[in-house]
Amino acid sequence: MRILTLIRQVLDAEESVRVRNGAVELEGSKLVMDTMDEYGVEEALRLREAGTEAEIVAVAVGPARSEEALRTALAMGADRGIHVVTDTALDAIALSAVMAQIAKAEGAELIFCGGQEADWDSQALGAATAERLGWPQATWTSALELKGTTLVGKHEADEGSESFEVALPAVVTTQQGLNEPRYPTLPNIMKSKKKEIRKETLEAYGVAPKVKVNGVEIQVKERLKKILDGKDAAGAAAQLVKMLREDAGVIA
Amino acid sequence: MILIVAEHANGKLSKSAYELATAARGLGRGDVAALVLGSGVASVAGAAALIADQVLVGDSAELAQYDAEIWSAAAAQIANEGEAEVVLIAGSRSGREYSPRVAVKLDAPLLEDVTSLKDEGGVLHAEHYTFLTRVTERVEAKAPVVVVTVKAGAFAPAEPGTVAAEQFDVDLELPKRRLVVTGSTKEKTGRIALAEADIVVSGGRGVGTPEGFVQLVEGLADQLGARAVVDAGWRPYSEQVGQTGKTVQPKAYIAVGISGAVQHLSGMNKSKVIVAINKDGDAPIFKIADYGIVGDVKEIVPAMIQELRK
């Protein structure tokens, strides 16, 4: 079986966000593989370690530097990479058209994708890719195993969680808690340098953005910082409740 | 036509449906049709008739349980038949799950989890958060039909009118369910849904034990009619599930025994008011708090519950 894991390179969550010329400035900041995508690579590796014969292919669409994120996936244990090199920023619906074409060409049967991407705050890529392929999807997956050709797992619904079964081929989107991604070991990092990353151009896929971005703003809301000393617990609690009622008007 | 897909739960139209109605009216593009999908949804359709110009009702056993493929097929079919220019879907977990499929089926752009929406000469302009809600991005889309998911709490709920709009039953061509749900664990009943909570009380490491969580965090939440959540990195993931990736924009976010920045609930940093209770006065949480108490949560929180009972 061939498993695709979709990889996006994003700003490290610990980094501060800066805006320049109407866009978030990424140069000079620490960029990493999206944590959500790490769960996907890890889960693919675990399916293989549990006995499923699989080739794991990491796929990224993005500028030249995205290769670093692909290398991380290869160092974790993915077998090879595909990098569609482009500086064009694609929205999730447009990007899904590239992903679906790659999945078809590769004959993939299972795709892992992040539940919510850290730079877009988008949850659309997995579902849109599944739709284009005519596959079902399991989103926000928190547990997964493969029994024959059926995925058995747990995922989150609007209220509470559900156990599910779905036959391959399928798209699975991840969430925190699906697994604990491994750190690449030094020998695996060395090995990953020899692994193949196939370079392609976006033009080959005939895809253009569907949404135009007009600008970004960082909104820092000034906070009041009215902090009380809690040595007198009852007194401080009474004062806080009074402030929330009368000044902030947030409680009845 | 503007199509809104009206969510409901437990026989009641969800708050999000009223918010979608406001977002739809704000576009000023004519009739607003509400699509209600489910089984035995007459009362929900009746409620939707008070906020829309017409209600399209898909009421069948196949629709008793949500499914991304079935919901997206229904919404896309109705959008096509009604020549919808905009399809508005709630920014709930399910809404954000099936909306991308609707966009692909309609070959439409998707604007996700918008906090504002307006029509400028036939072009839809919206804002939404990016970079873990730290950035507001302005976007636009121009197409014969655009699919939009709307962030919970971003629009004021529409006031129901007094005259009920006409209702129509629709025939839907629905695909077979492929993701089979074999069991479910509902959240505790009687507690308010996270997306609908005006106040969220979040408990962190400083709460100490699971018993402490129940007593302090849930105790305070119950007293306030609020929703209790677990801070990331404290309890096992299994207790946080149902929270990650959910968007909230409560009026008040009360952090109990949390020292660091809070990222697990998308949108919490946009809360109107942030309140922090922590024993360490140098904790970073106080830098983003409007109100707070430096003190022992085991003393402060019970005192607050006492005070609120008065």
Of A159, A165, A177, the CB nearest to B240: A177
From residue B82, alpha-carbon distances to A41, A62, B70, B118, B143 in Å are 42, 38, 18, 21, 16
CB spacing of B238 vs A244 below 8 angstroms = no
* Alpha-carbon B59 to chain mean position: 23
Task: Tell me which chain A residues have a C-beta less than 8 angstroms from the C-beta of B275.
Answer: 240, 244
pTM, entire model: 0.85
Domains of chain B: 2-169 (3.40.50.620), 194-309 (3.40.50.1220)
Q: Decide which of 2.60.210.10, 3.30.70.2860, 3.40.718.10, 3.40.50.620 is the CATH code for A2-205.
A: 3.40.50.620
Band (B267; pLDDT cuts 50, 70, 90): low
pLDDT of A111-121, one tens digit each? 999 988 878 88
- Cis peptide bond N-terminal to A184, omega within 30: no
pLDDT at A222: 82
User: Hey, what long-range contacts does B291-294 have (CB within 8 A, 24 or more apart)?
Assistant: B291/A224, B291/A226, B291/A227, B291/A228, B291/A240, B291/A243, B291/A244, B291/A248, B292/A225, B292/A226, B292/A227, B292/A228, B292/A240, B293/A227, B293/A228, B293/A229, B293/A230, B293/A236, B293/A237, B293/A240, B294/A227, B294/A228, B294/A229, B294/A230
The domain ranges of chain A are 2-205, 223-252
B242: pLDDT strictly greater than 60 = no
- Residues B285, B261: contact at Cβ < 8 Å? yes
Distance CA B115, CA B127 (A): 6
Could you tell me what percent of chain A has a pLDDT over 70?
99
Phi first, then psi: what are they for A50, rounded to 5°? -80, 0
| One-letter identity of residue B267 | G
| One-letter identity of residue B17 | A
**A10-14, A62-66, A244-248, B291-295: which has the minimum mean pLDDT?**
A10-14
Burial class (CB in 10 A: 0-12, 13-18, 19+), A220: exposed
CB spacing of B252 vs A251 below 8 angstroms = yes
Band (A227; pLDDT cuts 50, 70, 90): very high
Band (B265; pLDDT cuts 50, 70, 90): low
**A26-40, B103-117, B212-226, B253-267: which has the minimum mean pLDDT?**
B253-267
Which residues, listed in sequence order, are joined to residue B240 by a DSSP beta bridge?
none
Residue with tokens 């005070």: B307
What residue of B is the nearest CA neighbor of A12? Answer: B131
Distance CA A83, CA B228 (A): 43
Distance from CA of A56 to the nearest CA of B (A): 24
Could you tell me what percent of chain B has a pLDDT over 90?
69
**A230-234, B67-71, B190-194, B263-267: which has the minimum mean pLDDT?**
B263-267
What residue of A is the nearest CA neighbor of B221? Answer: A251
- Residues A52, A152: contact at Cβ < 8 Å? no
Selected for mutation to probe chain A from B70, B307, B309, B310 (highest A CB count within 10 Å) is B307
| Token code pair at residue A117 | 């991407």
Name the DSSP class of B217: I
Task: Tell me which chain A residues have a C-beta less than 8 angstroms from the C-beta of B198.
Answer: 250
pLDDT at B66: 95
Distance from CA of A190 to the nearest CA of B (A): 32
Band (A128; pLDDT cuts 50, 70, 90): very high
